Structure 1
């Protein structure tokens, strides 16, 4: 609940304050290199020719400026230690000048050639940067704009902290989980990845920018910083220098103008070298002379030192050096360099400029994510309205599915779509989300249930039957219909669906129609289900129940991976198609092949990713007792020549897809089961998810370690944290993959406690039951069922 509230606030402020921060960021980037840019645009103004000329003395320079501008009063003189830079003279505000921001009247500053005293032209581009600063500070909208920028800056602090909280990875000590950007991602995943990972890269810069930016937004914040650092706030009123009676005024154009030369001689005596110096000329008789200067190599552009000389005697009154200040006062003196990044030198300035320039990226990606989420929510609301997912209404249909490979889930949604089109109100739920109490409040239930292996429930639905015993004893108000999916090659054909029917009937529920059992996707049985739905809703329902169409693929490569193995040959089969094909790790390739006068579909786990540009299978050549070859393996491994056309379709298998998050993954398999595990590992590596543990078993290490070089490379690159191998024929005592797991129960428990999911791929005979026995012994029956219900125990076994 708390995390959801933080998320809602994050996106709400993001689509509002984000627009302001985008403008502030772009203008901030423009201001980062303001002075170098102005200097480049203004040769002869912000840079002067030395050519062996002699620099005028300060008093000569002031005298020539005063002669050129007799009606204006100089109040400051700035000199540079660089002979190629101009001097600068500040003039007092002219009478009647309008106050600027903050209510103060400001005079004009002009650049001066230090060699002849000429007033130089006003630099081009100053107006542009002045406007940029006004937008950056207050959106060029006065006090109202200042408050908007201030509030948006506070929002930026919230974005930094809430974003850190929202994306905190499970493996928070692994820097890759924080900082690795995966350019292979697409769509919404890529937008979120870009938003989150780049935000992490720049989080420290944004946090420092915002915390220092508030200095110019709120007086109370600025005063608090000065109080915290022990530095008195600067006097914003008129300068109040000390005055000694009878001491003459030391200013340009006065009778004692020559005292400027004496003042600079006193300054040079105290400060032998400098990068630049500014003398603020006294405004009243007897005021001290104040020099502000920087060392030859200043820490940053605001690392100023201050020297005050007594009027008349020119004795040192105060000499404050930046290097001698406490750290807090250094930070306050450098608040602008901290804000711009120049406090950390050129690398910091470049980093902060890029961070500012990237600010609109977060606004754009945030908006796109928001609009995508809004569109999906709107579509979900529309779908819910069409389905009739209301809490009241006895005629609302509940469709539940129990799916191992995705077929039952697909048929459940197809049924819902057909019923919606016929005017029915429908809701769809996974069977694992139902319990006896929910069923007691349901009037009509349609159940699409797969049976896995020898009469077993799909992994995610294993806890359903035990949970029925914990609710009301009677389900007399419930009417149900079941579509049972199975394979008659197994002794317990449709065993799980039959067990559900028996339990529901025992608890008083009544069948809407006889259970329809589907043998290996039998189209006639699916047509019967469609007819039952038509009777149920009183009108003809339509829909395509046949699944995706077969496409034409071509056999382009076939390699035996285990010559010399004591076991049957295993072939790596490579297929390509000219049509668009897409799949996820864990999906199934269904291949239609002619065999003995009939057409058969055998299924194979896909061992590659779409990004590989090919579909790879791992097929073991099956030889029957009579010596004949298996229909599918015989055709793929031997009979079909390279270049042959193959009818293939890809079936989504969401029950074996990789986790969407970065939780640890324990992959267990044997034999050709490495195919599905390989695809999962490749997908995890592309996503930068490194906590993967593989336990693999085969006959011989010398011949049957399929994809060994690839797996070792993944381990060397850090994407496979651990590999445990069991080669049963390499030692006198047989060693199997379940034995490896039993020897690592402490590690197994630790990984599961950290949220790991267990994926098992391979043989249903021996390996899969053996692995489950180890898990049950370590976790207990309830623990294993809970793991399955949470989607953390998944199997693709055959």
Structure 2
């Protein structure tokens, strides 16, 4: 439940705040490299031709501008050691409360071209801080920074239990497709940037909320600097006396309070105060000259730039900032006070002498943009910021795909409702009978196709269909699957029992039947569909067209249904099919469960996904098998195809092209490989009950080897148990099996099965033990306890710890008279009735021939047929049989 809540919060905030965070990320990435970009854009402003003479000193530059333009009021002068770097003079300028930086040639004092791009970066800065809408925007960006922290923590929580290997956590899987690729991209890249986003969000909130800023100073153990109230209004402080944005932290590291955009600037009103205090131009010039000479002689360390602030009052002191030759970051400034009257350095505060916590709190902007941790980290932080839109886009796509694919049947239902219906058209009823959901899906897709042609359609499960509704409709389409040994699906059995024995007048009814089945069971292929068709015919109903059979959801057969419907109705119906996308899984483990058994070998198969995957206990793993190398070789020899013959259209060899083709098909003479492949249909998939749950981080199957009449291993069992090497890739897709899903409460459950049917029951019991539900009863049968007690240690551990309240075992060959699970059921008839009275739910998994039918008869004998039908209708009798 907690995970669901986090998931809902994660995606809801993602689709609401994601766009703002994307804007903040991109603008922050651009602004973090403002200085290098501006230097690149303005080489004529930042760099000069080296001359064979010394650079002009601060006093010489000051004297030059006093002569050439005495109206200029200078705040500070910055000299760079690099002979190619220009000097900078900060001057008072109307409208620039922090002064204006003027770049000058350090050899001639010529004013260099004005820096281009300042307006652009000012816009980027405002967009990043407040979306250019002032205080309201600042509140929005602050809230989004808090949401970013929640994204990071909830994302980690949602992902943490899934995978523990570094490869799964940090490696992208480019071979994935569709939603799996989007999720992998979202999750893996998200893991890469977790640290960066936490740092960006936590430091960004420094400028958003005063309470957060105070908390950071307390957590870091640094005393927060107090604002200088006497200069508050002149410096642009806010109503609380705090400097806006990152000026507060700048003041903490630099009492001189130089420019934010250029560290080489003093107070904008210093010249005015100088004149009021009585310092003449000559005195300022002398002070600058003595300071420059004296400080360079006494500083005792190299520096890259030195900023000299013009004296504020005639006390003989000048404030200086200088940056080390190799600074930790762009704001790692050292401060000094030089007394030019005594020619001594009175005070020196070196950045490197600060403690780490003090450095962090006095350099919040470099920490935020990443330069505090070095150029490599800053570059990675910039990339992390730049990819922030990726999460917004992939999150939206995942959200949309989740809505679209949550249920294909629901998708069809929603799509159908948005169409204008022809009021003169006769209404259609589409009735479906499904066991695993395929028939229901096709029913809704048929409904969508008709409603897109403006036809009124009602879709209903056969179990909820009564005879009055059959009599009231003139057009009914039946989409029905066959289950077990040729019967109706479990939930449709009540309809057949009530109605198939009755005679009624259905002459008014026009109908068609789409029958689903598998030709691998030729005796019962589409049996229920044919039985339904015969019953309708016998009662006078008129077929719109002949029954259409569908073999293993074959798309050609489905399209034949659509085409026949379009022909008889004379409507334009959109093509429909069932898309099957198989993901790549890795075969990690395979071992035999029953060595020396009298029965065929049964294997424990363990597969690991290459992507994030979810399933529920009771779901089905659909495998795409392939042909063994021997089978492909025999086929090629039979048809005289040379090894490694290329298939030009696919740019692969014929061996690769044949791996998933049905090689039992009779083929006509072919002109080329493409012609051959056109004649070969894909191999049918194979379905297996899943024996594990997602929290076990592995998908487990129980597969028994099957052999055909020629002694060859079956297609699916051979592929999984022998032909595929360990650590090879397997094509697999999870198919939901709602009719066998575990109940979500603590009612008792009775699990009955035999042989490889233990797989589906194990997934149910694993899920129940995770929920600490102990009212579990397992009845399991196989041949010999010594060899065929699958997962014995796990089952006995459950029994010992009380997670399995009852365990009854039937090993048929361990005694003279064979004992099967239905015998145990009859022996425990009173106990069974007691559990049913406590609202127990029965789950049956295993072979339909023998076990399932015998258990079904035993339940009828114990509970009564009407009671068993009621259990079916209430979802308390669930089967996964084959």
Asked whether 1:182 is paired with 2:181, we answer no
The reply to whether residue 346 of structure 1 matches residue 375 of structure 2 is yes
Aligned residue number for residue 636 of structure 2: none
Instruction: Give 1:88 deviation, angstroms.
Output: 0.9
TM-superposition CA deviations, 1:90-125 (whole Å, max 9, x none): 1134xxx34x7xxxx221111121112222111222
SS of residue paired to 1:666: strand
The answer for the alignment partner of 1:67 in structure 2 is: 67
Is this contact kept in 2: 1:305–1:320, CA < 8 A?
A: yes
Deviation at 1:80, TM superposition (A): 1.5
Evaluate the alpha carbon distance shift between residue 414 and residue 499 of structure 1 in structure 2; reply closer, same or farther with a 3 A threshold.
closer
1:335-362 CA distances to partner (integer Å, 9 max, x unpaired)?
Answer: 1122112122221121111112111222
Distance, in Å, in 2 between the alignment partners of 1:267 and 1:669 is 85
Deviations 1:169-218 (A, max 9, x none): 423x3222222211112222222221222111111111111111122223
Alignment counterpart, residue 293 of structure 2, candidates 255, 259, 265: 265
Instruction: Summarize deviations over 1:419-446 as a string: whole Å, max 9, x none.
Output: 99797865669xxxxxxxxx9xx7879x
* Rounded Cα–Cα distance in structure 1 between residues aligned with 2:75 and 2:442: 84
Counterpart of 1:563?
Answer: none
Tell me the equivalent position of 2:354: 325
1:297 aligned counterpart, secondary structure: coil
User: 2:305 aligned with 1:276, yes or no?
Assistant: yes
Deviations 1:539-579 (A, max 9, x none): 9688744332679xxxxxxxxxxxxxxxx9xxxxxxxxxxx
Q: What pairs with 1:698-709 in structure 2 (closer than 5 Å)? A: 706-707=723-724
Instruction: Tell whether the 8 Å contact from 2:322 to 2:333 is kept in structure 1 after alignment.
Output: yes
1:546 counterpart = 2:550 = yes
The verdict on how the C-alpha distance between 1:654 and 1:537 changes in structure 2, with shifts beyond 3 A counting, is farther
CA deviation string 1:245-301 (max 9, x = no partner)? x99979782434212122233422034311222122222332742211222211111
Describe the superposition over 1:134-184 as per-residue Cα deviations: whole angstroms up to 9, x where unpaired.
Answer: 22222222222222222222222222122222222423x322222221111
Distance 1:614 1:182, change over 3 A: same
2:726 aligns with 711
Change (3 A) 1:276 1:444: farther
> Hey, what's the Cα distance between the residues in 2 that align with 1:112 and 1:678?
81
Q: How does 1:3-22 map to 2 (within 5 A)?
A: 3-22=3-22
1:220 aligns with 2:211: yes
- Could you say which residue in structure 2 is the equivalent of 1:126? 118
- For 2:57 and 2:284, the matched residues in 1 are separated by 15
C-alpha contact 1:387 1:427 (8 A) present in aligned 2: no
Q: Which residue of 1 aligns with 2:699?
A: 665
Alpha carbons of 1:656 and 1:428: their partners in 2 closer, same or farther (altered >3 Å)? farther
Deviations 1:337-395 (A, max 9, x none): 2211212222112111111211122222222233334455798657558999xxxxxxx
- What is the match of residue 54 of structure 2? 54
What residue ranges of structure 1 are gaps of 5+ in the alignment?
389-395, 404-408, 430-438, 446-480, 488-492, 552-567, 569-583, 591-609, 620-631, 681-695, 697-704, 716-737, 743-748, 756-763
Distance 1:647 1:259, change over 3 A: closer
* Whole-angstrom CA distance in 1 between matches of 2:326 and 2:47: 20
Per the alignment, residue 733 of structure 1 pairs with none
Corresponding position of 1:90: 90
Instruction: Identify the residue that residue 194 of structure 1 maps to in structure 2.
Output: 185
Separation in structure 1 between the aligned mates of residue 443 and residue 539 of structure 2, nearest angstrom: 12
Counterpart-to-counterpart distance in 2, 1:617 and 1:231: 71
Change (3 A) 1:499 1:549: closer
Q: What's 1:367 paired with?
A: 396
The answer as to whether partners of 2:10 and 2:151 remain within 8 angstroms in 1 is yes
1:231-246 to structure 2, matched below 5 A, reads: 231-233=223-225, 235=227, 237=232
Q: Deviations over 1:23-60 (max 9, x none)?
A: 22222222232222222222231011213222122211
Matched with 1:209 is 200
Q: Is the 8 A contact 1:56 1:117 kept in 2?
A: yes
SS at match of 1:35: helix
Matches within 5 A, 1:750-769: none
State the TM-score, normalizing by the size of structure 1: 0.61
Q: Which of residues 500, 514, 533 in structure 2 aligns to 1:513?
A: 500
Query: SS at the partner of 1:184?
Result: coil
Aligned counterpart in structure 2 of residue 163 of structure 1, from 149, 152, 155: 155
Contact 1:399–1:416 (8 Å) recurs in 2:
no
Aligned length: 593
Deviations 1:233-254 (A, max 9, x none): 363636899x9xx999797824
Whether contact under 8 Å (1:87, 1:112) holds in the other structure is yes
Indicate the SS of the match to 1:89.
strand
Contact 1:22 1:363 in 2 (8 A): yes
Structure 2 Cα separation of the partners of residues 528 and 357 of structure 1 = 63
Report Cα offsets for 1:446-466 as digits up to 9, x if no partner. Answer: xxxxxxxxxxxxxxxxxxxxx
For the pair 1:24 / 2:57, whether they are aligned, the reply is: no
Q: Secondary structure at the match of 2:327?
A: coil
1:349 and 1:136 map into 2 onto residues whose CA distance is: 17
C-alpha separation in 2, matches of 1:59 and 1:217: 41
Which one of 526, 529, 533 corresponds to residue 526 of structure 1?
529
1:125 and 1:7 mapped to 2: Cα distance?
A: 43
In 2, Cα distance between equivalents of 1:787 and 1:211: 54
Structure 2 partner of 1:648: 681
Matched, 1:144 2:136: yes
CA contact (8 A) 1:589 1:651 kept: no
**1:62/1:252 contact within 8 Å kept:** no
Q: Deviation string for 1:729-772 (max 9, x for gaps)?
A: xxxxxxxxx99xx9xxxxxx9999899xxxxxxxx998999656
Whether contact under 8 Å (2:843, 2:879) holds in the other structure is no
